Amino acid sequence: MAFLAAAIAVGLGALGAGIGNGMIVSKTVEGIARQPELRGPLQTTMFIGVGIVEVVPLIGVVIAFLIMASA
C-alpha cells in the first residue's frame, strides 16, 4: 500500500508540473506574440516560473521516499 501511495505522489506531482509548465509557456508565447519588444523580460520571468514549478515533482519524489521508508 505504501508503494501505491508513493506512486500516486510522484504521478500527481509530475502531472501538475506538466500542466503548469504548459500554461506558463503558452502564456509567454502569447505575450511575445502581442508585444515582441518584451521578449527578454517575458522569457526571464518564464524561466523563473518554470523553475519554481519544477520543484513540485521533486517534493513529490521526496515525499514518496519518505512514505516508502516508513513502510
Per-residue pLDDT band for 16 (boundaries 50, 70, 90) equals very high
Summarize pLDDT for 37-62 with one digit per residue, the tens. Answer: 999 999 999 999 999 999 989 998 99
> Is the model's pTM score more than 0.85?
no
Give the three-state DSSP class for 2: helix
Q: pLDDT averaged over the chain? A: 93
Residues sharing a CB contact under 8 Å with residue 54, sequence separation 6 or more, in sequence order:
17, 21
